[in-house]
Amino acid sequence: MREILGRRRRLLSQRSDGRPELIGAALTYATEWQWPVLPGVAADPEGRSRCGCPDPECTVPGAHPFDPGLLAATTDGRMVRWWWSNRPTAPIVLATGGKAPCAVSLPALPAARALEALDRSGLRLGPVVASPSRWAILVKPYSMEQLGELLYAKDFVPGSLRFHGEGGYLALPPSETGQGEIRWERAPLPGSASPWVPDVEAVVDAVVEALTRTGVSAPEF
């Protein structure tokens, strides 16, 4: 019990201003759950909706890696501590794929409806990450070949779906990005190991059905 409570305190520890400590969360992801992470580029301090990277048309402001690049993602606690000791407000970016979870994301409003449909169907879900515009359902790692076969078998795949697989990334709570706060819509249960996540097949089947039924097919940001 002491070990579990310690993990919960680290993940939810707070700064003096009452906001969660990013370094504590980053260390939990990296060292306890073995999820490779790295700091994201911060949003532009002069305009939070803009990104601090050189791209003036960046579509994910503050929610992507820049310096260091994605290949630097690590589970090494010393590196993670050094990064966030020097950049304490940097968003936490997960490098998806490999041994880390992947994700299926969709616009926030249809995502809420899709989760209700998934609950009614009895499908067990793991953690769900939410930003103001999109929600991401974490799933087990998959290959591009596996995803391609899965999508090819569908008669129709809504354009609003995005897939965060090998070589992809996802901002994790409690990050603040140009899109707003990143939070848990479905928080991981505290435990001694990395949170359980479902297979991608089950999630894609259910989400495609839910989105098709609600008529959400065009890309949305």
Residue 88 within a domain: yes
Q: What is the pLDDT of residues 58-72, one digit of tens each?
A: 888 778 888 888 999
Helix, strand, or coil (residue 38): strand
Task: Identify the weakest region by mean pLDDT among 37-46, 152-161, 193-202, 211-220.
Answer: 211-220
Residue 13 lies in a domain: no
Within-domain flag for 219: no
Residue 87 reports pLDDT greater than 80: yes
Contacts of 88 (CB under 8 A, 6+ apart): 22, 23
Q: What is the pLDDT of residues 112-160, one digit of tens each?
A: 888 988 888 888 899 999 999 999 999 999 988 999 999 998 888 888 8
Residue 14 lies in a domain: no
Strand partners, 163: 104
Q: Is the pLDDT reported for residue 171 higher than 90? A: yes
pTM above 0.75, yes or no: yes
| Domain presence at residue 105 | yes
Q: H helices then E strands: how many in the chain?
A: 6, 10
- End-to-end Cα separation, the chain, in angstroms: 41
Q: Which domain holds residue 192?
A: 19-214
The Cα 174–Cα 25 span in angstroms is 8
Under the banding of pLDDT at 50, 70 and 90, the label for residue 44 is low
Q: Please give the mean pLDDT across all residues of the chain.
A: 83
Banded model confidence at residue 21, pLDDT cuts 50, 70, 90: confident
Count of domains observed in the chain: 1
12 domain residue, yes or no: no
**Side chain identity at residue 199, one-letter code:** D
What token pair was written down for 89? 């407000």
Whether 81 is covered by a domain: the verdict is yes
Q: Is 50 exceeded by the pLDDT of residue 221?
A: no
29 located within any domain: yes
pLDDT at 181: 93
Please, which contacts does 120-125 make with residues 24 or more away whose CB atoms are closer than 8 Å? 121/206, 123/198, 123/202, 123/203, 123/206, 124/198, 125/186, 125/198, 125/203
- Residue 214: in which H helix or E strand, if any? helix 200-214
Residue 57 CB partners (closer than 8 Å, separation 6+): none
